[in-house]
Amino acid sequence: MIKSNDVMAYGALGVLGILGPILFPDYTLSIAYLWMMVLMACTWDTLGGQMGYNSLGNITFFGVGMYVSAIVQISFFYDGGVGEYTSAMGSIKPEFTDSEYFLGLFWGILAASVAGLVLSVLFSSFMFGLRGPYFAIGSLGLAIAAAELTITIDYVGGASGISMPLFPGDIEFRSTFFYMLCFGAAVIAHFLLRWLYSTQFGLAINAIRDDEDKAEAMGIPTLVYKRIGWGIAAFFMGGIGAIAGNMAGFIDKEVAYPVPTFGIFMVAMVLLGGKGTLWGPVLGAIIFHVIKETTWTYLLNLQWVALGLILIVNIVYFQQGIMGWLQAKFPERFGIVVDPSTTQVGSRQGGDGQ
């Protein structure tokens, strides 16, 4: 995309990001979820769009991150640890001071991100032997297995979940605080990926997408790139999981591993906006979220039908998504042009190929 469009997009998103919760305070948490979905879409696209590995299991890192942060936040300042806390089934409500809460949250988010990263490295050691649909289903299996495993662990409350520490502040401040976290995380993720895609890393994962065997034959250390790509996604998914858990206030299997909702949404958003593009996931997430919230409000009971319909139209008529469609329609605006200034003999010779 050309530069001036980028500036306009950042301007518009910046205004929405900063003024949104000020102008529409009732929707602060809803817009926070919007940024969370932007982050999910962008990080899913690293593997799914840019590298061509459709992971249906990124939600695993989200859930694991959520639980890891809960363990860290509670164990840090409650002597009994998570085990005692959870076995009391919510009857223990330890009072955290403000600084304890925020320090715990900080370490919780950090630990959750690192946990996601470590887990992805572990998964990488066997998952990247799989390609195409096998990788997709295999990664989905990871998410389901992680969810089922979690409820067998009594230490983290088993099936009855964990009540997260209470936020020390009023409800408006709570919303604004988590809003800022979500917005900040999405901004960091976007700019990190934007930079990454401008380096050799971006080209390498595109090459893996287009022809992995060729990339291998050209000496590209494909496994290294695949690990880094998934690691980045896992790092952010772990962190946002920690934030989401605290926003929800109570976590269990359903909150931590929303495979049929967020797990699928993140794929749908990228397909809608245009996979393998910088702006596609952002655009897709915004449109998807707005439609989702609107239909939830005005078409209650039919919201899933509406979402399904959008998916079908997207898949059948706009497989490349909005950005992909724009690129096919207006290639010159994306710099895909024959350079008219070159008329050397050599150039023409190449142009005469069959």
- Indicate the residue among 93 and 348 with the shorter CB distance to another protein: 348
Token couple for 90? 């919510």
CB contact set of 24 (below 8 Å; sequence gap of 6+): 31
Contact footprint for another protein (CB under 8 A): 196, 198-204, 206-207, 209-211, 213-222, 224-225, 228, 276, 335-344, 346-354
- Indicate the residue among 30 and 222 with the shorter CB distance to another protein: 222
Least distance from C-beta 351 to another protein, angstroms?
A: 7
Least distance from C-beta 51 to another protein, angstroms?
A: 12
Other CB atoms within a 10 A radius of the CB of residue 293 amount to 16
- Indicate the residue among 239 and 276 with the shorter CB distance to another protein: 276
- Indicate the residue among 190 and 209 with the shorter CB distance to another protein: 209
Least distance from C-beta 240 to another protein, angstroms?
A: 23
CA angle 204, 233, 285 (to 5 degrees): 105
Encoded amino acid at 133, one letter:
P
Select from 264, 267, 201 the least CA-distant residue to 229. 201
What secondary structure letter does DSSP report for 319?
Answer: T
Count CA atoms closer than 13 A to 162's CA, side-chain side: 31
What secondary structure letter does DSSP report for 25?
Answer: G
- Indicate the residue among 203 and 299 with the shorter CB distance to another protein: 203
Least distance from C-beta 336 to another protein, angstroms?
A: 6
Backbone angles phi, psi at 198, to 5 degrees: -90, -5
Least distance from C-beta 52 to another protein, angstroms?
A: 9
CA distance 172 to 179: 10
